[in-house]
Amino acid sequence: KNISNSLIINGYLRTGRVNLIGEHIDYEGYSVLPMAIRQDTIVAIRKRDKGEAEKLLRIANVNDKYTTCTYPADPNQNYSGFGFELADIVDFQAIDLKNHRWGHYFICGYKGYYEYAKSKGVDVGVPVGLDVLIDGTIPTGSGLSSSAAFVCSSTIAIMAAFGVNFPKKEIAQVTCDCERHIGTQSGGMDQAISVMAKNGFAELIDFNPIRATDVQLPAGGTFVIAHSLAESKKAVTAATNYNNRVVECRLAAIVLGIKLGMKSQEAIAKVRTLSDVEGLCVKFAKGHGSNDPVLAVKEYLKEKPYTAEEIEKITEKHLPSILGDNPTSLDVLKAAKHFKLHQRAAHVFSEANRVHAFKETVESKLSEEEKLKKLGDLMNDSHHSCGVLYECRYNYHTYAYNL
């Protein structure tokens, strides 16, 4: 596809991923265990000459389903009053989350590059125009991280175009941070495996700081990835689905912290994730002859959904003031009618345990057949928890699973 009269000088690809176990716990600070897949996204960039008049980003796609997007090259420029049609030119100082466009994912990487480069003291120079061409084989909205592959390949291609490089660990964190510009409160798994994957291995991804540990899966196992054809447009439905779960987890963590002895003000200020209160939950469990933090969930979080008023009574504070540091969390509050704190916390704690049980099984001295049986059981338990406790499975998934 011709988008320029000159050669494209930088092209980079990043793979999609399938998460073997550790669903929806990365943003709670817990380890996950994904592996890369063959399908990928490719981003090619031609940097325009500094002398060219138009300082624009033109983003085209090999697939004609996606119309060409155009954005200003200057991340600090406001284009209001310049006479451009808003359908063609978007000021990305703040990405328009109400008008979702596929090109926004490239802009996430572009914003992320500028923000991080400046924070590292890199002279980013005067913005120049870019011609960008995208291609890929990851089905969109299929749960294989097409968006993360797009953001990661865009960020790396942009860095190459400007002659800048950072270590993989930093790129993984940068791409996680910059994808949040699209409005999803992602935890970092998708970006980390896209950047840090190794051929022939799954990876145990830990956070704070991000690091990857190779996991050699049993040679006799085959992992079947089936597309149920149900699409999950994560950025579009964030307030009612993905971000809703993030908010429920944070509220569950705060309530648990208070129930387990923290002052309300302290819990609100210090507790961000369920991993922040795991120690308190385990301490409670040990008093009852166990190490399982789910015991605290069963004791202190009711199974019936909470109303906003019930949570505010426990925390002694209005929810908007608790979550007001994140605009996308406020969008969740506007859309939510209730909050299932018990179910979300029970899933996160039990799933975190399954991740380490998975790795321990792989490294055990069990026979290959015994390993695969145990790994399959853990994955089945994960699937059940995702459906019943976290409600992030569609009927289509169950049909495919039952096959």
E strand or H helix at 160: helix 146-161
Evaluated on CA atoms 91, 92, 93, 95, the torsion sign reads positive
Q: pLDDT value at position 88?
A: 41
Distance, in Å, from the CA atom of 130 to the CA atom of 107, rounded to the nearest integer, reads 12
The model carries a pTM of 0.89
Decide if 190 is catalytic.
yes
Q: pLDDT value at position 240?
A: 80
Find residue 215's DSSP bridge partners. 202
Q: pLDDT value at position 124?
A: 87
- Residues constituting the chain: 403
Q: pLDDT value at position 232?
A: 74
- Residues 15 and 197: beta-carbon distance below 8 Å: yes
Compute the mean pLDDT over every residue in the chain, rounded to the nearest whole number: 88
E strand or H helix at 318: none
Q: pLDDT value at position 75?
A: 78
Q: What is the dihedral of CA 372, 377, 378, 381, to 10 degrees?
A: 160
* Structure tokens given for 186: 């992602």
pLDDT tens column, 332-377? 999 999 999 999 999 999 999 999 999 999 999 999 999 999 999 9
pLDDT tens column, 258-315? 999 999 999 999 999 999 999 999 999 999 999 999 999 999 999 999 999 999 999 9
- Residues 57 and 132: beta-carbon distance below 8 Å: yes
Number of Cβ within 10 Å of residue 297's Cβ equals 26
CA 71 to chain centre: 24
- Residues 198 and 214: beta-carbon distance below 8 Å: yes
What is the residue-level pLDDT of the chain in tens, covering all 403 positions?
A: 445 444 555 667 788 999 999 999 999 999 999 999 999 999 999 988 777 767 899 999 999 999 999 999 987 664 333 333 433 444 445 677 677 889 999 999 999 999 999 999 998 888 899 999 999 999 888 889 999 999 999 999 999 999 998 999 999 999 998 888 888 888 899 999 999 999 999 999 999 889 999 999 999 899 888 877 777 776 677 778 889 999 999 999 999 999 999 999 999 999 999 999 999 999 999 999 999 999 999 999 999 999 999 999 999 999 999 998 788 899 999 999 999 999 999 999 999 999 999 999 999 999 999 999 999 999 999 999 999 999 987 655 565 666 6
Q: pLDDT value at position 83?
A: 36
Closest CA to 164 of 212, 110, 103: 110
Domains of the chain with bracketed CATH: 10-215 (3.30.230.10), 236-403 (1.20.1440.340)
Distance, in Å, from the CA atom of 329 to the CA atom of 360, rounded to the nearest integer, reads 36
Of 26, 190, 276, 331, which is the active-site residue?
A: 190
